Amino acid sequence: MRYYLSIYLLFLSVLLVNCDTDSLSSSYARPEVRLVVIDEESTLEGASIGDSITLAIALDLKNMDDLYYLGFKISFNDEIFQPREENPYDYNIDGSFFETTGETIYDLNNNGVLDGNEGWDDENGNNEYDGPLDYPVGIINLGDQDGNDSIDYFEGSLGILDPSTNGNVDGAGRVCKFYLVGILTETVFDIDITDAFTYVGGVDQSEDYSSASWDIYTLLVGSPHEPVLFLQEEENSNSEEISIVLKIEDSPKIASFSAKINFDSSILTYLGETSMDFFDEEDYFDSSTELVLDTQTNQGIYYIDYNHNILGEESEEVDLEEEPLSEGWGDIIQLTFKVNDNISETNTTIVLINDLLFPAISGWNSYSDQGGSEYQLDKSYWTIQDSLEINF
């Protein structure tokens, strides 16, 4: 699966070489599901690793289109956190994602409500005024996945009351808030979308809303890391050659890493690469690299891919104590180029692509339902320095 995903990313990226990245980002907005920390309702300020805390997290949606029902499951390490005894969750929240505006009223006195002498736009043709709904309906259960008499997940089903009357909702918003108590340490909250539906009317009434293409972000809490990813020029004894290194600082544990580096092939000629010390060659497989040259745009495109053995076919035999995930500081890869002859330029820029596809960075959750699962690290918390100017 990892191999085919890498090929897909490579193929799609090549297709997008001649596209305008900003235009792509603005016109193609994939639905997002994200767990976030609610700072103002948590006791994180001033807390240190090992302190007892109250943690408030929220399930947020973004870029949704015509949704009326959502099923989800949030799993966590019950040795670190437990749901708060009183009111461990709340979906009756202001600005709920499932809030509806109701049918338009002809508000003659501007008081915001339908009065007896006023009419309304009967959008669904039921001859009744359907007012706004502030909150969803549904249920949230607390469960014990591993059967050790300790709660380790929330499972919920929330949606719009009577969608044939009140329709779907779209856009962005907060679905629910969850409250836990425990110890501040690095741990993962995993989110899984169990099902979703859109109301279509007619005989079928509703259809599955596939979450296969959604971006779903697992939450990493208590991480002491502030990751940085950047390119740096290295000294080269040959004055006609240039060496750059992709470096990483203060990284959390990484299960897989893919990156893409662009350079101007009319100025530089690629000579070779050297895998550096950050990813141990014995612990990471398929460390495949590929160079693509686009003669029309004079772009050289270099692809990097590292995957830990825990993602391989013999993952059940992997002991993370003996084959640890890479983390912290280090050099990932060194690329060497020759400056082309007979050029007038005195500098060039090498770019570390930072877009929807790259870098693709994942971690590993040892406490998932499956006994371990890969999850996408949220790049919004990373500092990615995406360009390096080379003077010669």
Residue 278 confidence (pLDDT) above 60: yes
C-alpha–C-alpha distance, residues 51 and 40, integer Å: 18
DSSP reduced 3-state for 379: helix
pLDDT tens for each residue of 154-180: 999 999 998 888 889 999 999 999 999
The pLDDT tens digits of the residues spanning 210-219 come to 999 999 988 9
Task: Return the domain boundaries, the chain.
Answer: 31-99+134-213, 228-391
List the structure tokens of 182: 């425990």
**pLDDT exceeding 70 applies to what percent of the chain?**
83
The pLDDT mean for the chain works out to 86
When pLDDT is averaged across residues 316-325 and rounded to a whole number, the result is: 92
What does the pLDDT average to over 8-32? 49
* Band of pLDDT at residue 201, cut at 50, 70 and 90: confident
DSSP 154-172: EEEEEE-S-HHHH--EEEE
Which of the following CATH numbers is that of domain 228-391: 3.30.420.40, 3.40.50.300, 2.60.40.680, 3.40.50.720? 2.60.40.680
What is the band of 123 on the pLDDT scale with cuts at 50, 70, 90?
low
How crowded is residue 312: how many other Cβ atoms within 10 Å of its Cβ? 16
Q: How far is CA 253 from the centre of its chain?
A: 16
Reported CATH class of domain 31-99+134-213: mainly beta
Q: Does the predicted TM-score (pTM) go above 0.85?
A: no
pLDDT higher than 90, residue 326:
yes
Residue 132's pLDDT is 80
Structure tokens that stand for 344 in this block: 């007038």
Choice among 13-22, 37-46, 155-164, 287-296 with the minimum mean pLDDT = 13-22
